[in-house]
Structure 1
Amino acid sequence: MRGINAILSPIFLAGLFLLTFLTAGLSQDRSGADVLRDLRREWFNLAQGRTAFEVSDPQHVPNFLKLAVEQSGCRYEDGLRVAPIHFIRVAHGRLALVPCGGPLKTTQRAFDLSDLQKPLAIKFPFLAYPDGIGASGDAPGFLTWDKDAGFFRAETTSDISNIPARYTYRFDGPPSNFVLLRVEVRRNGIGDWSTIWDAPRLSDLAKPNQ
């Protein structure tokens, strides 16, 4: 009898360990599913079927966005005193355009909400001084969405040249990014916009010489 117990004890312990392991795994899976379900419910309650809307009250900013915004160093509560957060569905994804308060001015940052569990900050290409193209987490100005044209535009004034400039972007995704299409300026600060840079069409460059 003791021999049988000696044989069965390791088997029993192994079975108990396996059962505990499987139970823990299933519990973690349920927990992950619960988190995702809660995030989707939070988004559904916020959007209410709208493809574009604004949030001005810090208390109504969804928790999944708050964490990503704070980690980026954006002072959104100060920014909301100047402008609302814009939520937009575009290019099969979701965007949040968040105002960020600063000591001198309020800027705007964009976050990709395609994965509600991992909102991602998106950088903006811009013309760098004295030449070349750089990238920044802050938009060059507050973005406006031209739904009919499918473009975003941002107007700004350079701290160096003091010349008003307008940037035109296309939003692509996934992976989510802003593509710089055009830069225009008003050389005297008034009048019509003059294009100083246009993105080349790679499809045209790939065509053989005719």
Structure 2
Amino acid sequence: MRRTTLVRNIVLALALIGSWLAPMNAADHATSHIVQSEQREFDGVDFKGQTEFEVSDPHLLPRQLAQAAAQSGCHYERAIKDFPTRFIRMSNQRFALVYCEALFGTHKIFDLTNIRKPRVMYVPFFAINRGFGTTSGPGYVTWNKDSETLQSEIGSDVCPSSRLRHIYSLGDNAGRASDGIGFVLTHIDIQEDGCGNGEWTTLWDAPAWSKLNEPR
């Protein structure tokens, strides 16, 4: 009897220790990064020394980012659980990838340089048979922290149809008109069979521009 009681107590103790050491769930993890306060009109974002984290609860999205997304026409609320908003920091540059639900869903990139006023970003985009333009909805966007590049893919679910893939590198706007961050288009691929089976082929590569003389 004493041995049974001892074994039961050991099991309960191990279970209690396991609960203490259990990893933080996604909601708790996001809460630790988003600093909400009723004393001010915006929420803080604390990376806690990390380069990125995700938020999958619409109620935990910083109020000012939620407002900026809504003003840009982004319907993130129902999609955020399946496509969490990703917060990314590189050096002193911060931005967020917010997925917007639509007939053709897309991510939007928000510059968080001014955390009080997130700014939707426009990136270069290839307009077939017309040249280059800009867009705030480049498609499904992923971040590669090793190469510090963004990759966007866009296309139709109708088969067969082509898909485009754009590669952007983090740019430096120092001394330029914009005070925020920027992305530079470096590469474009096309997939003629956009149903996932076709090969990607290079459509455009950024040339090695000769260095321009700075205005004096």
Same fold (TM over 0.5): yes
1:47-62 to structure 2, matched below 5 A, reads 47-62=47-62
- Opposite residue 115 of structure 2, the aligned amino acid is L
Q: How many residues align?
A: 166
Q: Residues of 2 paired with 1:156 and 1:71: CA distance?
A: 23
Q: Structure 1, residues 145-181: CA drift from partner, whole Å, max 9, x if none?
A: 1222221111222589821221101122443222111
Aligned partners of 2:105 and 2:140 also within 8 Å: no
The equivalent of 1:183 in structure 2 is 188
Aligned partners of 2:167 and 2:187 also within 8 Å: yes
1:1-40 to structure 2, matched below 5 A, reads 35=40, 39=43
C-alpha displacement of 1:92: 2.5
The equivalent of 1:66 in structure 2 is 66
Query: What fraction of aligned residue pairs are identical, expressed as a percent?
Result: 36
Q: Residue 70 of structure 1 aligns to a residue in which SS?
A: helix
Q: Residue 78 of structure 1 aligns to a residue in which SS?
A: coil
User: Pairwise CA RMSD of aligned residues?
Assistant: 2.6
C-alpha displacement of 1:35: 4.8
The equivalent of 2:77 in structure 1 is 77
Gaps of 5+ in 2: 1-38, 174-179
Aligned partners of 2:87 and 2:97 also within 8 Å: yes
C-alpha displacement of 1:133: 0.5
Q: Residues of 1 paired with 2:182 and 2:157: CA distance?
A: 25
Q: Residues of 1 paired with 2:172 and 2:100: CA distance?
A: 24
The equivalent of 2:98 in structure 1 is 98
Q: Residue 117 of structure 1 aligns to a residue in which SS?
A: coil
Measured at CA, do residues 51 and 179 of structure 1 come closer, stay the same or move farther in structure 2, by a change above 3 Å?
A: same
Measured at CA, do residues 183 and 119 of structure 1 come closer, stay the same or move farther in structure 2, by a change above 3 Å?
A: same
The equivalent of 2:207 in structure 1 is 200
Instruction: Tell me the TM-score normalised to structure 1 length.
Output: 0.69
1:137-176 to structure 2, matched below 5 A, reads 137-139=136-138, 141-157=139-155, 162-174=161-173, 175-176=180-181
Q: Residue 45 of structure 2 aligns to a residue in which SS?
A: helix
Aligned partners of 2:57 and 2:81 also within 8 Å: no
C-alpha displacement of 1:115: 0.9
Once structures 1 and 2 are overlaid, which stretch shifts more, 51-60 or 186-195? Answer: 186-195
Measured at CA, do residues 173 and 62 of structure 1 come closer, stay the same or move farther in structure 2, by a change above 3 Å?
A: farther
- Opposite residue 200 of structure 2, the aligned amino acid is W
Q: Residues of 1 paired with 2:163 and 2:210: CA distance?
A: 31
* Larger fraction in helix: 1
